[in-house]
Amino acid sequence: MLWLYGQFMHIDASEASPAEGYLSALEKHPRGSSEDITIETKDRPIIRTQKEVHGIYYQIVDRLLDVFILSDAYDTRQLRNDTMSALQLFHNSTGWYSDCVWLVTKAFSKLPESSSLCQYLIKSWALLWHGKEVTGEFAHDMTALSTAFLVPVLCLTAKRESDGGECKSQLKQELDEWCTFHEHPDEEEKRVCKEKRETNRPFFRNFILACTEIAIREDTNITQDSLVRAP
pLDDT, tens digit, 9 for 90 and up, residues 162-202: 888 888 899 989 998 889 999 999 999 999 999 999 899 98
DSSP tally for the chain: helices H, then strands E: 11, 2
DSSP, collapsed to helix, strand or coil, labels residue 47 as: strand
Give tens-digit pLDDT for 96-141. Answer: 776 788 899 999 999 999 999 999 999 998 888 765 555 556 566 6
Chain centroid offset of residue 47 CA = 24
Three-state SS letters, 136-168:
HHHHHHHCCCCHHHHHHHHHHHHHHHHCCCHHH
Domain ranges of the chain: 15-226
- Count CB-CB contacts under 10 A for residue 161: 14
Q: Could you tell me the pLDDT band of residue 56, with boundaries at 50, 70 and 90? A: confident
Euclidean distance between CA atoms 5 and 87, whole angstroms: 16
For the chain, give the mean pLDDT: 80
What pLDDT score does 96 carry?
Answer: 72
Positive or negative CA dihedral for 28, 217, 102, 73? negative
Q: Are 53 and 25 in contact (CB under 8 A)?
A: yes
